[in-house]
């Protein structure tokens, strides 16, 4: 049965870009441990020679004709943005000051 430490939970939260409060980390550590213990049952199944399924039904790649189509008007897309400037999404700084 896997066991997951509070430090690992904090690391996962950083990977997932989730700013979690200390009490949330504590609570989640216990719950994730419990859930992982339950889902680890899949490892009991002998399946070495079984191919994995990523998708319910077999899929083939689909191409469409290379013809221009109208896209959404920029105004209607930017209307839903948290911030926009000069017809573009305005975002916080991406690089640190020292970069």
Residues within the interface to another protein (CB under 8 A): 4, 8-9, 12-21, 24, 28, 31-32, 34-36, 38-45, 47, 50-57, 59, 61-62, 64, 72-73, 76-77, 79-83, 89, 91-96
Burial, 78: exposed, middle or buried (Cβ in 10 Å; 0-12, 13-18, 19+)? middle
Closest CA to 52 of 42, 41, 38, 39: 42
The token duo for 91 is 């975002």
Whole-number minimum distance, CB 35 to another protein, in Å? Answer: 6
Pick 15 or 66: Cβ nearer another protein: 15
């Amino acid at each position: 049965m896997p066991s997951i430490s509070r430090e690992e939970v904090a690391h996962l939260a950083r990977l997932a870009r989730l700013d979690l409060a200390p009490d949330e980390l504590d609570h989640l550590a216990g719950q994730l441990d419990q859930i992982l213990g339950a889902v680890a049952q899949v490892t009991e199944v002998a399946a070495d020679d079984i191919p994995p399924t990523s998708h319910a039904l077999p899929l083939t790649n689909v191409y469409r004709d290379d013809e221009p189509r109208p896209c959404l008007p920029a105004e209607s897309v930017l209307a839903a943005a948290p911030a926009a400037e000069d017809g573009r999404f305005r975002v916080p700084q991406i690089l640190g000051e020292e970069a």
